[in-house]
Amino acid sequence: MKKISLLLIVSLLLTYTVFAGVQWTTTITTKSTDKKATGQIISEVSAEKGNLKQAFTSVPGKSMVYMKEGYWLFKADKELIYIVNDKEKTYMALSLDDLLQMAGMFGQLVKMEITNQSVNAEVLPAETVLGFSCNHIKITSDYTMKVKFLFIKKTMTIHEVKEIWAAPEMTGLTEINKVFLKKNFKTGIADLDTMIQKQMALQKNLGFPLKTITHQTQMGKKGKVDVESTTTMEVTDIKAASFPASFFEIPAGYKEINMPGEGGGKLKLF
């Protein structure tokens, strides 16, 4: 489901609450009974003075957003994300809201209704990850999703359990945090936005997420399991670093292109 792809983007954005002058690796692995949803994204993230650069070293298949021949660049002074394609020598400038709405564009074709929402949190004992003391929380979400695409209708019951290990005491964490915490993270799909906001409210002030494990079960009308998946995000190899000023600049001669949908282009997230 596209909804899973969207929540992956939210997870990536929340992971970008970082501190200056560092470099680390993020690995997101999904194992699913749906082979199309199974895959791994590995990226190297560099950050300094509020600017971030994320290069994807491993992605599942071909994607316009997650690419090996380019990177994401966040410029703190403009609060924009640039998706840079080194192969085509192009870049696309997006606000954080634009990025989420790209994933929500399918709502123009797919009608989605989410009902019977229930989101609860359980605080678990603190644990140490990569040498950092981490808040440990488990968020359980249950809801019914009705999807209509052309003449196809489907109703699913979703049960999701997400564990988060987040470090509250990391040097300079609040330096970037304020930029992202002010965002509404709205996709334009009302029911989906409501659920995302409930989940995000429970994660507020936890700290920098070093590890998350999300287990999701999708069931049909009769309670039979249709799809079961587990997505694990882990941050590794954190180290101090310094970068030349040009490291966070778009190379000269690269051409800006429009966001898909503005110029009639088609979007493929995965």
Looking at the domain assignment, is residue 64 inside a domain? yes
Looking at the domain assignment, is residue 216 inside a domain? yes
Identify the domain containing residue 38 by its residue range: 2-256
What is the average pLDDT across 61-66? Answer: 66
Q: How many domains does the chain have?
A: 1
Looking at the chain, the whole-number percentage of residues with pLDDT higher than 70 is 73
Going by pLDDT thresholds of 50, 70 and 90, the confidence category of residue 33 is: very high
Query: Structure pTM?
Result: 0.75
Q: Which two tokens stand for residue 77?
A: 């002074």
Residues 6+ apart with CB under 8 A from 188: 101, 104, 107
Looking at the domain assignment, is residue 270 inside a domain? no
| 8 three-state secondary structure | helix
Contact present, 108 and 71 (Cβ < 8 Å): no
> To which H or E segment does residue 104 belong?
helix 96-104
* pLDDT of 35 above 90: no
Looking at the domain assignment, is residue 80 inside a domain? yes
Looking at the domain assignment, is residue 266 inside a domain? no
Looking at the domain assignment, is residue 243 inside a domain? yes
Task: Please report the pLDDT score of residue 128 as a whole number.
Answer: 94
Looking at the domain assignment, is residue 192 inside a domain? yes
Q: Rounded to an integer, what distance in angstroms lies between the CA atom of residue 241 and that of residue 19? A: 11
Cα separations in angstroms, 116 against 134, 143, 221, 253: 32, 5, 14, 51
Looking at the domain assignment, is residue 11 inside a domain? yes
Dihedral in degrees, nearest 10, Cα atoms 209, 213, 214, 215: -170
Contact present, 230 and 22 (Cβ < 8 Å): no
Question: Among positive and negative, which fits the CA dihedral 40, 238, 53, 15?
Answer: positive
Going by pLDDT thresholds of 50, 70 and 90, the confidence category of residue 17 is: very low
Residues in the chain, overall count = 270
Contact present, 185 and 96 (Cβ < 8 Å): yes
